[in-house]
Each structure stands twice: as structure tokens, then as C-alpha cells.
Amino acid sequence: MLTLNINGKPRQLDVPEDMPLLWALRDVLDLKGTKFGCGVAQCGACTVHVDGEATRACVTPVGTVLDAKITTIEGVGASPQGKALQAAWLDLDVMQCGYCQAGQIMTAAALLARTSKPDDTAIDDAMEGNLCRCATYKRIRAAIKTASGQSADDRREA
């Protein structure tokens, strides 16, 4: 039996240590907000926080995060950054299909936790690994800026 610390609570599960965190969350612990997109860390749909770092759960064996604090989309609203991002995502109506957006919010929350007011370059660098097939990038950028108390304008060509 393994114990993971997820969203501030200990969760026990009986799985092999090499099971990726993604499948432990989704299939074993019934936390389905973390999404499966590619299985090879190429799309970011499965992004969670491991000790505050944005991490691809699809390539993270549970055995490597037994001592870590894991935060998922279900728990990110407990942090001020997560809460502000969720609100901005709704205010700006970011979503189309919405499937990637949990991962987008998780990556953005980790960015805001280390850079309180990221500029466009910092947003580009942090978010490049998160694919949005509906390509809602314009609104994702605006929502990150709004959530961090900045003007929503894209300043890249200013």
C-alpha cells in the first residue's frame, strides 16, 4: 500500500510504484480532472503540481512522488493564484472544448506562484508545453494577465 499527499490529504492506494501518477489519480483515486492527452509529456493536459512545480503526471511514476505534496485541478482553487486563474478563465470565457484547460490552469498557477506578474515572454516560455487544440491561446494569455492584476493586452508587438 502506497500513500500519496494529494490536495493536502493523505490518499492510500494499492498500485505498483511504476504506475504513472496520471492513472493513479484518474482510475484509482477517482480524480478525473487531470486529463490524458498523449502519455509522453508532449501536450500538458495532465499537468499537476509536485511540490509546487508544474509536472506531467503521465510520465511521473507514483513511486517518485511518495514524499511530495501533489496538487491537482480539484485542489488548485485553494491557492490564491489558482482561485484567481479559475475566476479569470470564467470571466474571459477562455474555453472551447475545455479538455486541456485543467492543465493550462495548473501550469499557469505554477508560473504565477514564482512570477507574480509574468510578461508575455514569461507566459510564452511557461505555456509552450501546454497544447490547446482549439487554440484559445489569445484568451489564455489574457486570463493569466488578468489573474495577475495586469492589463490583458498582448504586448508582444507593442
Partner 1 sequence: MDTSRRLFLQAGAAVGGGLMLGFGVRADAAATAVTLTDYVIVAPDGVVTVMAKNPEIGQGAKTMLPMLIAEEMDLPWSSLRIETAASDPKRYGAQFAGGSMTTTMNWLPMRQVGAAARWMLIAAAAQKVGAPHDAFSTAEGQVIHTPSGKRFTYGALAADAAKINPPKLDDLPLKDPKAFKLIGQSKAGYDSPKIVRGEPIFGIDMTLPGMLYAVYVKSPVYGARLISCDLTAVKAAHGVKDAFILKGTDWHGLQDGIAIVANSWWYAQTARERLKPVWDEAAGAPHDSLIYLEQAKDLVKGPGEVKQSHGDADGALASAAKTISAFYEVPFLAHVPMEPQNCTARVTADGAEIWAPTQNPNSGGELVARTLGIGPEKVVVHMRRSGGGFGRRLENDYMAEAAAIAQKAGAPIKLVWSREDDIAYDYFRPGCYHQLRAGIDGDGRLSVYDCHSVTFARDGKVAQGASIEGNAFAPMVTPNFRLTQSLIPSTVPTGYLRAPTSNAIAFVHESFWDEIAHAAGQDPVAFRLAQLDAHAGDKADYNPGRMRRVLAAVAERAKWGQATLPKGEGMGVATYFSHRGYFAEVAHVRIADDGQWRVVKVWAVGDVGSHIINPTGAYNQVEGSIMDGIGSMEAGMTFEKGRAVQVNFQDIPMMRMPKAPLIDAHFLASDFPPTGLGEPALPPILPAVANAIFAATGIRIRKLPVLPEDIAAGRRVA
Residues lying near partner 1 in the complex (CB under 8 A) are found at 15-16, 19-20, 23, 26-28, 30-40, 42-43, 45, 72-74, 77, 86, 89-91, 93-102, 105, 123-125, 127-128, 130-141, 154, 156-157
Buried residues in 43-57 as b, exposed as e (16+ CB within 10 A): bbbbbbbbeeebbbb
Q: Closest Cα to residue 143, out of 99, 95, 110, 79?
A: 95
Say what the alpha-carbon torsion angle 128, 130, 135, 140 is, to the nearest 10 degrees: -80
CB of 22 to partner 1, least distance (A): 8
Contact 22, 46 (CB under 8 A): yes
CB of 145 to partner 1, least distance (A): 13
Contact 10, 76 (CB under 8 A): no
The smaller minimum CB distance to partner 1, of residues 68 and 89, is found at 89
Q: Which three cell numbers stand for residue 10?
A: 493523505
The smaller minimum CB distance to partner 1, of residues 33 and 52, is found at 33
The smaller minimum CB distance to partner 1, of residues 39 and 52, is found at 39
CB atoms within 10 A of CB 23: 18
The smaller minimum CB distance to partner 1, of residues 68 and 106, is found at 106
CB of 29 to partner 1, least distance (A): 11
CB of 33 to partner 1, least distance (A): 2
